[in-house]
Structure 1
Amino acid sequence: MNRYNNFSRGSEWRKWDLHVHTPYSCLNNQFGEDFDNYVKQLFKNAIEKEIAVIGITDYFSIEGYKRIKEEYLDKDDKLSTLFTDEEIAKIKKILILSNIEFRLNKLVGKNRINFHVIFSNKVSIKDIEENFLRELKFVYEGTPQQEDERRALTISNLEELGKRLKEEHEKFKDKSDIEVGMMNAVVDDSDITKILSNKKSIFEGKYLLFVPSDEDLSKISWDSQDHNVRKIIIQKSDGLLASNPNTIKWALGEFYKDPKEYEKEFKSFKPCVWGSDAHSFDRLFEPDERRYTWIKADPTFEGLKQIKYEPKERVFIGEKPELLKRVRENKTKFIKSLAITQVSGYDEKQGIWFKDIEIPFNSGLVAIIGNKGSGKSAIVDILGLCGNSHQYKDFSFLKKDRFLAKGLAQNFEATLEWEDKTKIIKNLSDKPDTTAPERVRYLPQNFFEKLTNEIEEREFPNTLENIVFSYLPDEQKLGKSSFQELIDYKKQSIQNDINQIINEIDVLNKQIIELEKKQHPTYLQELENKLSLKKEELKEHEKNKPKEVKNPKDDEKLSKEQRELFEKLEALNKELDNIETEIKEKQKELEVLTLKQEELSQLLKNIKLEKQRIEKFKQDNKATFEKFGLDIDSIITFNINTKTIEKKIKEFKKQIEDIQAVLLINENIEKVEEEKRKDLTENSLMVKKEKIKSEIEKIKKELTEPEKKYQKYLETLKKWKQKRNEILGDETKPDTIKWLEKQINFVNSELNNRLKQLRDERINKTLEIYKKKEELVKIYKKFKEAIDKEILSHTEVLEDYEIIIEAALNIRNEFVDKFLSFINQKLRGSFYGKEEGEILLRELVDNVDINSEEDFRSFLEKIIYILEVDHREAFKEKTDEEKRRYIFEQVKELEDFYHYLFSLEYVEPTYELKLGSKSISQLSPGEKGALLIVFYLMLDKDNIPLIVDQPEENLDNESIYRILTKFIKLAKQRRQIILVTHNPNLAIVGDAEQIIFVNIDKKNGNKFSFKSGSIENPVINKHASDILEGTLKAFDLRRLKYFKGK
């Protein structure tokens, strides 16, 4: 049976234990001699603990592995005497590998070096015994001035060695011959590697070498005489048997200034794996400190080999990998599968297309490959449809001139299943519901083409603003809920030369725009949909409430020592809760103080600006005063005393610094001058918190199993309650249940009256500007420091690829041109049509008496009325509802439009994405595309699935390899990514967890088919090498993924 057929979801995290001994490990056999019982316990424990691969380990031999294979796994009748049919089915899915543990003829310090050879299951037992073990020699006996007598490494020779040594040494006599022989036999690692490397036809690519390391290799001294012995052993090994966190980092070169120096010294980075090293039943698959080995690969030997090439990404040692935790906690954010089939009654006259298709999806990076026209875009379009992507107009397969033509699509139905087992069913002729939230972020191929061509339009700068806002710390958001709200506040604080009336109008404009948008029926629908989704999320969360665990403290049988220990733990937990509460209070206090300090700082700036304005006025008009014999200083007196404000700001600053000091973590304290560290450490709440957590963890290790379970229950319950409160939220937290309910009530009962009130107030403010006839200028202040730091943090990955987000101002002058530049004259409304719209506006302008305040008021009111009620000739006889238009649908930049219209001056704030010194307009299409993709991968903080259709279009391979693959790897650590690609660098170097090869058989009714699996799956690998761009040589990086046709 081909094991690869079972792994269609690609590389997944599974538990491996590559170091499990058998009763044949006679140097330390605590299993007993009943081999049936050993096999029974081995596999029952493996099933219970969900072990995917077992390394059957013995000293100098494969006796245990051989017996398990030949007498049990190869004989179903034997298995049936020990296991149920269900257990046998599970056992058949477990891969067992031979792990031979050797003792070498080399010492490091006072200890002999052990050396492990793990063979592929495709290497026969006969070949291991006859072409490897029997060709290894150990020193049997020495004779003066003669060459040592060396014998073949066989069981009989080891027994003979033991027998002779027992006769010569009294203390060995109570041990068996084989035990004494194995105790004293040693082999040479050079012999091991020589035999294996010379017999290429048998062993090449079918074994891995591991050396155990029980110590912290980052701290040991390399200055002793055994430096080179240790180094050579590590150099020739494929990996280490180690679980020490520092050793793992050391083996990846992370303790070197340049990891390449480690690679040069030790020949390769070394993956670390760990195992139970079980010699007894109670230790089976239970390594010390629960340091389980998880490997992200198919449970095959080829899967194991992948850890050589991705030693950091493919191996995790610990309780559970982060991805599995993330999926478990966010099941609504991960796609499990997509099923596509024909609707009942379809006669296939228009082709077979999709029939009983069910595609599983990995939770990491999924690459969909295939020849042109093979259905790649079809799959991601269908995912976009089911995931409610709002980019459906950019679909390339599900569009009118393709699959939607002639009613073809209505004959097919898709079912998208999420990891929480909820399903979304869509007919392929359906359209996404744009009033409902997107469940996936889909970037179709056409989306990038459109965005690179129209990037200077408003849509992308808005996206930039939202992402900039998402990176700001809460205390810097100053209590604002959106980027625009925050930037408005900041602009007011630094623009004292702008008339207060215009600032008030801008605030009114923003409020009015928000209300006008809320008038649209889709807004209420969006709120109701979001509320429904949130309530469903709450409902699901309630189901997952941790099952109550009884407090062991209530057990009267609890010993005094355990009770005291448990009470101490409870006290520590209470102390931890108190500190965490104090930390939250300090963080809230910090936010309030920061806002107060900012308000006073703005006030101080405004006072100083006012002083500068008056001094400038005096300077500009001094000659005129003197002309009439007037003393300007006696006429204009101006006294400012800001000492009390400056004192208050200093007080706030000191309070902020004091709070920040108690919120410092150890890592930051270490960067402070040494003389300050002690006080900072003693006063830091964060340090106290970690100290208490450390004490709690120490006590936990001494707890009984029920006590551990109870503590685990308390921790889980605490997290559950926190998440429940996050879902419920309050009326001030956007997109929470209580906030959504408040918004819906506002739309239904208060919106229209409030809008009329604000509009009247705006007209009155505008007429004040009209009276003064002042020309105003609005300055847009850049606000992007937080995201600059984020980009800077990726400098090492970006290398010389310099991404910059820059703010720019866009100003227009002519009234008619300015006005109409805001209007989308291709959309329904009074100003529809370029010529017609200009005629209507000029008619309004020509008929207004600019010297009449009332006439001007009427002019402004009429513009709003004409925008909301369609005045075209064809709509004169229509009903009010048919004439009704929404201003925000007609106007591209409504806030700027209102700013211009009602303040008599226009300034549009925008952010611009740049590559080095080049603006977007100066970039080639390929550079634009690469910049946009990196932007989405690096800076988009959303964690819903990201689906990208052929991001490499119009990009050169060097750009993809150097930049995109790095950011794909970063992005897949926090979200599921599905991409269509035909480029090897994205799929292979990006280390896709799953590759889906798709095909449409045009000669057989356009029948769609697919094959799915991991990179290490030879069937998928072959398709990848055939389909992906370039030659095999182009992506055979470090003998990385491909099998070279073997």
Structure 2
Amino acid sequence: MLSRGSEWRRWEPHIHAPGTVMNNQFSGPNAWGDYLTALEQATPVIEAIAVTDYYVTDTYEEVLRHKAAGRLPSAKLVFPNVELRLDVATAKGGFVNLHLFVSPEDPQHLDELQRLLSRLQFNVMQDRFDCTRADLIRLGKKADPNITDERAALAYGANQFKVNFQQLREVFSESGWAKKNILIAVAGGATDGTSGVREAADQTIRREIEGFAHVIFAGSPAQREFWLGQKDLGPDEIRARYGGLKPCLHGSDAHKLDDVASPFGNRFSWIKGGLEFDALRQACIDPDGRAYVGEQPPRSAMPSQVISHVQIADADWAITPDIPLNHGLVAIIGARGSGKTALADVIAAGSDAISPSGWNADENISPSFLARARKLIGDASTTLTWGGGATVTRALDGSDANGHMTFPRARYLSQQFVEELCSAKGVSDGLVDEIERVIFKSHSQDDREWALDFAELRDQQISRFQQAREREAEAIADISDRIATEFEKESLVTTLTTQVGQKKKLIADYTADRAKLVVKGTEAQVTRHTRLSEAAQKLRNKIQSFGNQRRTFVALQDEVRSMRATGAPEMLRQAQARHANSGLDAKQWEDFLLIYKGDVDKSLTAYIAWADGEVRKLNGVAPPPGDPNVALVPDIADLSTLPLAPIAAEMTRLEALFSADKVVRDQYAALTGRIAQENSALQTLETRLADAQGASARRKDLQTERDDTYGRVFEAIINEQSALAALYAPLMARLAASSGTLKKLSFSVRRIADVQAWGSVAETELLDRRKTGPFYGRGSLIAAATEALKPAWETGSAADVQAAMTAFMARYLRDLLSHAPFAPTQQAEFRAWSKRFAHWLFGTDHITVRYEISYDGVDIRKLSPGTRGIVLLLLYLALDDSDDRPLVIDQPEENLDPKSVFDELVALFVAAKAKRQVIMVTHNANLVINTDADQIIVASAGPHPSGGLPPITYVSGGLESAEIRKAVCDILEGGEAAFRERARRLRVRLER
């Protein structure tokens, strides 16, 4: 037995035939021939017909005779629909019509039906009339004595006969045969249906009738939505009020040839199932999935993305080499070792869906049939036929797998694949990769900005902010170095002040010593020499300043050459790498090469020449030697306008006049030179002192700048966080709007501050925790930072973080510095340490932006493997909308208890099979019965021969097949109980 199981087929649930008891408008000598031809030529093809008549089955029996003669070949199922009129009036003057769908499976169903109907009575005219042909004729004649024709009397009597609803319900409840073989349908319209029961006094009876019915005759989408709990009342309210959800059907209700198989608005009835009465019973159990009214049946997967047929060739172990597959949910069941996974593997192999690791798995431990049977497969191959007509053949030994032109046409969740993704390693690798893939696919093509995968899209969205963070972090490092330098200068104020005082005293002492060498009578010359010395010192200072400038200009020339040769080109290359998606060509990128705004080469050459010229002017030219008694510089000359050379010459001339003693002259000259040297040193010290005295103000400005830059670092971090959140927004919005299991899954993006790592760096590398103080011992710094900084780091704004760090420094900086491993007097060591300390304090390497995936409030990294399996199935079944390929799953219920299977997975499979073909291997009855699997494939294997593979046989069908249901109950634990529970509330019997 092999079939595709439950497929959508057109049923005609309400059609009269020539000779119908009332309102028969079929006429002509070939009324029956025309009627049957109309049914045979109907489009879409009608495959099940419920022949309708009032109270009797004459026309049904006539249709059976024509079918036995070869008519209606496409109609594999024909059954009676007995129409009754209840004694409940409608607002439009009619009466509520109720229908009995009678299963034809029982060979005695007509006799049993007539026996059941005979128990219905109509009391009128002081008489009791049973619902039998004879009494209906008798009623017609008694109601109108002028009627003599029995056919006319039958019609008139049927028109008068009204069935009491309470009596009907009692008769039905007392008949075991009726409960087993009859389904009740009631008209839902206003003229002859329950919608016409509008009087308040009749609302209770209306609800009773609708609750008694299994089927509602209604063709409008609004009615269908109501009875499925999708409109005014929810599913639970419908079940509580009416005993269950109801399928809606719509027939042509034809009483004449023109109406045959032509319902109003082409509202055809579609039932998913085999051509057997049990298909209608299944539709009552699952009205949403198995009954539909419309011009076409509901669409599921696209035909090109559906495997319609599997063929296994050159495999003597495959006793069933040709297997048709349903387009919806296919469940492969069987005992252990029966060949279930073998079929899943074969389908995956034909779809190029087995990964290289799957083909190369260890045959001794792999759950894969093809891996374990690698040495015995031989030349076996599989050919898959797709719904669009394409066929693909693949070897079952994997020899032609994973070629460069192949791609997976199905998604295969093998046991090995699921175990790998749901293991501890898989949490951080494969499972997260799959989640990211689904997130990526949730964005429209336009929103992906040409990215090929999630990582590329993420980098596109956040690289700008990461680059900003790096730039600001580098700026903080530079500013911290400058602050450390300013701190060092501040510490030198006292020392430099002392040195300036000492230098001044030394100069004064030298000056006094020189004065003692003056010979009496030369005081005027000495005074003159002193003024000349002061002027010379000023000129030398200027010359030294110009010399410093010249050296700077030369260094700038070197820097310009280096920047042009290596610096600017490298910066351009880095910019090109950071902005690879700019689309700019090499010529366009040339515009971004950094160049100097002006002609710096010309300027620097001019600056050097200018400095050299200024030095030459300040030095001047020495006058030629002359009379030692004649002044080289007139007394009235303005010394501030003279160059150095004549002043120095005049000083030398004067020194020769101070004493005739050469020794004294040499001493005077030496002291004069020493005084000049110390004055130069004094000027340098005074310059450094002034710089050091301004360090405090500069340091404070730099600290403010660093605080602002630290805030900008967090602005970049927060922007990165926002960009990541935007990536997950489509999926997060969908999860927020969902219900049930899907709502348990959530994504969040947040900052993580690893205070432990941040504090440990200081405690182990920067601070001397042996010193007595607030941060003595391990952990105290981490505790303080956790309290003062962690909340702002993780949830605060940039301003909050900036304020928290400012407050932290105000409170703890002095204490932290007290634990420095070097004293400030150890200048070199303390200087290096303070820079490292500042880099640590304002570093942000411990701040990361991370997205978290949680299920039922628990981080995915902390879930059990079984629960991670649920998350994996959530992805593939509910969230992966972009993937419409067949989904093949091997035993999704592994590691889950039966309740979890029902609570978490059933609804997911029901939703998934409406969008894509799902093929699953399972041991779980809930996953077969409660998902209303469209096709059940039962696998069985024979004895295992030595050195070969066991013979494997497959049979298949739908749940409407009693044989398939028996197999489900025999193989799957709890199968029979699951069937009973599903059918119980609707009073629908499904025999094993």
Say yes or no: does 1:198 pair with 2:174: yes
**2:410 maps to which residue?**
440
Distance 1:396 1:215 in 2: 67
**1:870 maps to which residue?**
none
Say yes or no: does 1:958 pair with 2:930: no
**1:341 maps to which residue?**
313
Distance 1:409 1:195 in 2: 62
Distance 1:386 1:356 in 2: 17
When residues 398 and 1025 of structure 1 are mapped into structure 2, their CA distance, relative to the original with a 3 A threshold, is: farther
**2:421 maps to which residue?**
451
Give 1:1019-1034 correspondences, 5 Å limit.
1019-1030=963-974, 1032-1034=976-978
Distance 2:428 2:702 in 1: 54
CA contact (8 A) 1:30 1:279 kept: yes
When residues 423 and 136 of structure 1 are mapped into structure 2, their CA distance, relative to the original with a 3 A threshold, is: same
When residues 1016 and 398 of structure 1 are mapped into structure 2, their CA distance, relative to the original with a 3 A threshold, is: farther
- TM-superposed CA distance for 1:633, in Å, is 8.2
When residues 312 and 456 of structure 1 are mapped into structure 2, their CA distance, relative to the original with a 3 A threshold, is: closer
**1:115 maps to which residue?**
98
Distance 1:295 1:152 in 2: 35
Determine helix, strand or coil for the equivalent of 1:132.
Answer: helix
**1:332 maps to which residue?**
304
**1:689 maps to which residue?**
none
Correspondent of 1:381 among 330, 345, 350: 345
**2:67 maps to which residue?**
73
Correspondent of 1:921 among 861, 877, 890: 861
When residues 174 and 96 of structure 1 are mapped into structure 2, their CA distance, relative to the original with a 3 A threshold, is: closer
**1:8 maps to which residue?**
3
Say yes or no: does 1:370 pair with 2:348: no
Correspondent of 2:135 among 140, 146, 157: 157
Give 1:84-99 correspondences, 5 Å limit.
90-91=73-74, 93-99=75-81
Correspondent of 1:134 among 108, 111, 118: 118
Greater CA deviation, 159-168 or 276-285? 159-168
**1:209 maps to which residue?**
184
Distance 1:388 1:1011 in 2: 25
- TM-superposed CA distance for 1:636, in Å, is 11
CA contact (8 A) 1:994 1:1014 kept: yes
Q: Which has the larger radius of gyration?
A: 2
**2:458 maps to which residue?**
487
When residues 1019 and 634 of structure 1 are mapped into structure 2, their CA distance, relative to the original with a 3 A threshold, is: closer
Say yes or no: does 1:252 pair with 2:228: yes
What count of residue pairs does the alignment treat as equivalent? Answer: 675
Determine helix, strand or coil for the equivalent of 1:225.
Answer: helix
Amino acid corresponding to residue 918 of structure 1 in structure 2: V
Determine helix, strand or coil for the equivalent of 1:786.
Answer: helix
Say yes or no: does 1:423 pair with 2:353: no
Determine helix, strand or coil for the equivalent of 1:948.
Answer: strand
Correspondent of 1:465 among 424, 432, 436: 436
Amino acid corresponding to residue 364 of structure 1 in structure 2: G
**2:262 maps to which residue?**
286
Distance 2:374 2:447 in 1: 55
Correspondent of 1:176 among 108, 130, 152: 152
When residues 418 and 478 of structure 1 are mapped into structure 2, their CA distance, relative to the original with a 3 A threshold, is: closer
Amino acid corresponding to residue 140 of structure 2 in structure 1: G
Distance 2:936 2:702 in 1: 83
- TM-superposed CA distance for 1:1029, in Å, is 2.6
Distance 2:978 2:739 in 1: 27
Correspondent of 2:208 among 190, 215, 232: 232
Determine helix, strand or coil for the equivalent of 1:299.
Answer: coil
When residues 218 and 452 of structure 1 are mapped into structure 2, their CA distance, relative to the original with a 3 A threshold, is: farther
When residues 478 and 1013 of structure 1 are mapped into structure 2, their CA distance, relative to the original with a 3 A threshold, is: same
CA contact (8 A) 2:190 2:197 kept: no
Q: Which digits, 9 at most, give the CA deviation of each residue in 1:956-994, with x for residues without a partner?
A: 112110111111111111110000000111111111101
When residues 410 and 808 of structure 1 are mapped into structure 2, their CA distance, relative to the original with a 3 A threshold, is: farther
Give 1:633-652 correspondences, 5 Å limit.
none
Distance 2:309 2:16 in 1: 39
CA contact (8 A) 1:56 1:65 kept: yes
Correspondent of 1:44 among 34, 40, 44: 40
When residues 282 and 1044 of structure 1 are mapped into structure 2, their CA distance, relative to the original with a 3 A threshold, is: closer
Greater CA deviation, 24-33 or 313-322? 24-33
Determine helix, strand or coil for the equivalent of 1:498.
Answer: helix
**1:276 maps to which residue?**
252
Distance 1:637 1:955 in 2: 58
Determine helix, strand or coil for the equivalent of 2:289.
Answer: coil
**1:1001 maps to which residue?**
942
When residues 408 and 249 of structure 1 are mapped into structure 2, their CA distance, relative to the original with a 3 A threshold, is: same
CA contact (8 A) 2:930 2:982 kept: no
Distance 1:625 1:494 in 2: 39
User: Sequence identity, in percent?
Assistant: 26
Say yes or no: does 1:166 pair with 2:148: no
- TM-superposed CA distance for 1:246, in Å, is 1.4
**2:933 maps to which residue?**
992
- TM-superposed CA distance for 1:505, in Å, is 8.4
Amino acid corresponding to residue 409 of structure 1 in structure 2: I
When residues 479 and 395 of structure 1 are mapped into structure 2, their CA distance, relative to the original with a 3 A threshold, is: closer
When residues 107 and 1008 of structure 1 are mapped into structure 2, their CA distance, relative to the original with a 3 A threshold, is: same
CA contact (8 A) 1:105 1:188 kept: yes
When residues 628 and 229 of structure 1 are mapped into structure 2, their CA distance, relative to the original with a 3 A threshold, is: closer
When residues 498 and 1045 of structure 1 are mapped into structure 2, their CA distance, relative to the original with a 3 A threshold, is: same
Correspondent of 1:497 among 450, 469, 478: 469
When residues 321 and 972 of structure 1 are mapped into structure 2, their CA distance, relative to the original with a 3 A threshold, is: same
Distance 2:202 2:38 in 1: 39
When residues 952 and 105 of structure 1 are mapped into structure 2, their CA distance, relative to the original with a 3 A threshold, is: same
Q: Which digits, 9 at most, give the CA deviation of each residue in 1:323-360, with x for residues without a partner?
A: 2xx55xx32200001111326xxxxxxxx411451111
Distance 2:905 2:924 in 1: 11
**1:601 maps to which residue?**
none
**2:912 maps to which residue?**
971
TM-score normalised by structure 2 residue count = 0.62
- TM-superposed CA distance for 1:917, in Å, is 3.3
Give 1:669-680 correspondences, 5 Å limit.
none
- TM-superposed CA distance for 1:27, in Å, is 1.9
Determine helix, strand or coil for the equivalent of 2:244.
Answer: coil
Distance 1:129 1:630 in 2: 106
Distance 2:364 2:440 in 1: 38
Amino acid corresponding to residue 166 of structure 2 in structure 1: S
Determine helix, strand or coil for the equivalent of 1:312.
Answer: helix
**1:1038 maps to which residue?**
982
- TM-superposed CA distance for 1:423, in Å, is 1.0
Distance 1:127 1:625 in 2: 119
RMSD after superposition: 4.1
When residues 158 and 1030 of structure 1 are mapped into structure 2, their CA distance, relative to the original with a 3 A threshold, is: closer
Greater CA deviation, 1029-1038 or 284-293? 1029-1038
- TM-superposed CA distance for 1:41, in Å, is 2.3
When residues 636 and 362 of structure 1 are mapped into structure 2, their CA distance, relative to the original with a 3 A threshold, is: closer
Determine helix, strand or coil for the equivalent of 2:19.
Answer: coil
Give 1:509-548 correspondences, 5 Å limit.
none
Give 1:778-789 correspondences, 5 Å limit.
781-783=723-725, 784-789=728-733
Determine helix, strand or coil for the equivalent of 1:10.
Answer: coil
**1:888 maps to which residue?**
none
Distance 1:132 1:422 in 2: 54
When residues 13 and 400 of structure 1 are mapped into structure 2, their CA distance, relative to the original with a 3 A threshold, is: same
Amino acid corresponding to residue 111 of structure 2 in structure 1: D
Determine helix, strand or coil for the equivalent of 1:914.
Answer: strand
